[in-house]
Structure 1
Amino acid sequence: MDEKYTYIKERLLYYAKNQGFKIESFLDSIGMTYGSFKGKAKEGSLNSSAIAEIYTKYTDLNIGWLLTGNGEMLITNNTTEAVQENSGIDYKELAEARKETIESQKETITTLKDKNILLEKNSEKSEKQIAFLESELDRLKQELANTTRQGGNRAAG
């Protein structure tokens, strides 16, 4: 690419146009609007949610280029191999580890939901027991009051 774009948003628009995407549809797909890319707003940064959407949906876009303007805009097999060699990161292993983490988190969420349901049921039982005990206490107080009154009446009579 001969042209240098100073801002990340300029590079993102260049990518979208270069790939033949309709700009507003493209921006909508990453949770942004064109208003964020006009005037002074184009000098601002992208939010992390947008970057995550770009990374997962547009896998041919070289995120390094998007962020810095350096390197090639599009990822090719050569680009991927060069990045992997330079970084020393095994991306397949990293992706597998992330999948395992996600599965583990899903299991934890399911377990916590089940525990939450049990706690809610136990809470309802406890509330019923408390209500029963309070009514039993009121009944016993009333009985005690009646007994005390009857004992006082006998003593007086």
Structure 2
Amino acid sequence: MKRSNSKDKNRGHAELGPTQRQLRAGELVRHALVEILREEEIHDEDLHGVSITVTEVRCSPDLRHATVFVEPLGAGLGDSAVQAGPAVAALNRHSKFLRGVLGKHIDMKFTPDLRFLHDESFNEAARIDALFMRPEIARDLRHDDSEDED
């Protein structure tokens, strides 16, 4: 009979996704960052007139690093990935300042290092919506619905 050791248990954990602890820490950091970005004035031309939505925070297993997914709003019309680039770069330039302020807002043993990334899920949802609106796709969906009723 083979005995499992703790290394095998930990290895399987990574495949299952984040732990409850990582999820709780991510939400704590996300809520604090929302307040910080709302209250703090960051003097950077790339963030002028841009409202930042923090959509998700993913913490590393040791909670020392956090990846912050953001969606900049108000940067103008056009491709949001292109518009988001300068705002995300500005947030990464000011990540040490934001980490310092974050440390005063949260009660964790370590304040995580912050890395900001543009949240692509909005673009992907818009792409899928556009696909469903294409005439040939809409026709196929209507055709499938009428077969289900028979």
Where is the strand percentage greater, Structure 1 or Structure 2?
2
Normalising by the residue count of structure 2, what TM-score does the alignment of the two structures yield?
0.26
Where is the helix percentage greater, Structure 1 or Structure 2?
1
Q: Which has the higher contact order (CA 8 A, sep 6+)?
A: 2
Indicate the structure (1 or 2) with the bigger Cα radius of gyration.
1
